[in-house]
Amino acid sequence: MKNVKVKCPGTVANLVCGFDILGLALHEPSDIMQLRLLNEPRVIITNKDNFNLPTEPERNVAGVVLLSVMERMDNKIGFEAEIEKHIKPGSGIGSSAASAAGAAVAANHLLGNIFSNDEVVQFAMNGEKLASGVKHADNIAPCILGGVTLIRSIHPLDIVAIPSPDLYVTVVHPQIEVRTADARQILRKQVLLKDAIKQWGNIAGLVAGFIKNDHDLIGRSLEDVIIEPVRSILIPGFDEVKRKCKEAGALGGGISGSGPSIFMLSKNEATAKATEQVMKEVYERIGIEYYTYVTTINKKGVEVMDVE
Ligand code: HSE
């Protein structure tokens, strides 16, 4: 087995109240990555898209992941990657995680799946570190495992898969770029106890809502009193989109990852499409270009498509 092709899904991190600890995988959009095993210690990256991402392995998200796998294999092997990204970098729907997770899963597959899921997540987090300056797994874990995941702890790694109801996800990506590193930089380093208590209640409520398939509880718990008030100022139209989407019947939602994308959960496709319409109207009126996706929760995660 020398060649593998993987489909790497976009993800929504944070799920509003769970900053750095909750995330879910999407069916759309997704990247495609082809990886070949080399019998010499080097990493070669080719981009099959127009995003002009660096191809030097040390500066490429997938590249640093592959270098870390190579090092773990005592530099006896190498990899050649062809990456076709559809998830725009800086969109807030897990573009760097898709590259990192895809590279880690594909490399493990080529090596005969010798690494555990936790080890694959660890490799992939090297890519997130390059992209955002911090190792966080709230995009990586759902990207690899699919569904909704809780990162109870990073040190030591403790990932919990949460049963996910069959919800629809509507995403709008206004075409402005918010760098994750910048969106982290502006956050306050301290929180008030009263805000922390509200946030804990919402995180627990959201997880309970997923497990019980209780749509109203999910909706009530999609509230963020710590991060959203700071970050939403970076996203034109945010408050209006959120209010009008809920009026259109969405359960709730908020900033996807570090933005600028905004996501909304809905219980059926008709509501998810009505929500999309609201998002379109707001950005048409404001005059900012946008993409929208109406999709569902992807329960598989990175998918191995084709092996030679
Ligand atoms: N949890 C991360 C953040 C996700 O909000 O900064 C973005 O990569």
Between strands 22-38 and 78-84, the pairing is: antiparallel
> What is the whole-number distance in angstroms between the Cα of residue 90 and the centre of ligand 1?
11
For residue 217, give every residue at least 6 positions away whose Cβ sits within 8 Å of its Cβ, in sequence order, or none: 205, 206, 208, 209
The per-residue pLDDT of the chain, averaged, comes to 96
Average pLDDT (196-200) is: 98
Calculate how far, in angstroms, residue 147's C-alpha sits from the geometric centre of ligand 1: 17
CA 305 to chain centre: 20
Q: What is the CB < 6 Å shell around ligand 1?
A: 13-14, 19-20, 132, 136, 138-139, 180, 183-184, 257-258
- From 233, 305, 303, 220, select the one nearest 265 (Cα to Cα): 220
On whether the CB atoms of residues 292 and 218 are closer than 8 A, the answer is no
Chain mean position to CA 93: 5
Task: Give the global pTM.
Answer: 0.95
Tell the residue number behind the tokens 């993800």, with chain if given: 11
Least confident of 87-91, 224-228, 294-298: 87-91
Position 180 scores a pLDDT of: 85
Name which of 230, 225, 167, 165 is nearest 200 in CA terms.
225
The string of DSSP codes covering 132-161 is HSS---TTHHHHHH-SEEEEEETTTTEEEE
Report helix, strand and coil shares of the chain as percent, to nearest 5. Answer: 40, 25, 35
pLDDT at residue 306, rounded to an integer: 67
- Torsions phi, psi of 109, nearest 5? -60, -45
Span of 50-54, 61-65, 101-105 with lowest mean pLDDT: 50-54
Does 308 have pLDDT greater than 70?
Answer: no
Which single residue is written with the structure tokens 């190792």? 135
Gap from CA of 64 to ligand 1 centroid (Å): 19
**Active centre residues (catalytic):** 128, 180
Q: pLDDT tens across 220-275, in order?
A: 999 999 999 999 999 999 999 999 999 999 999 999 999 999 999 999 999 999 99
Note the pLDDT tens digit of each residue in 152-196.
Answer: 999 999 999 999 889 999 999 999 988 888 899 999 999 999 999
Domains and CATH numbers, the chain: 3-163 (3.30.230.10), 168-296 (3.30.70.890)
pLDDT on residue 179: 85
Among 35-44, 77-86, 129-138, 228-237, name the one with the lowest average pLDDT: 129-138
Q: Within 10 Å of residue 233's Cβ, how many Cβ atoms?
A: 11
User: Among 180, 234, 256, which is best to mutate for testing ligand 1, by the most ligand atoms less than 8 A from CB?
Assistant: 180
Residue 134 pLDDT class (50, 70, 90 cuts): confident
Percent of the chain with pLDDT over 90: 93
Beta bridge partners of 275: none
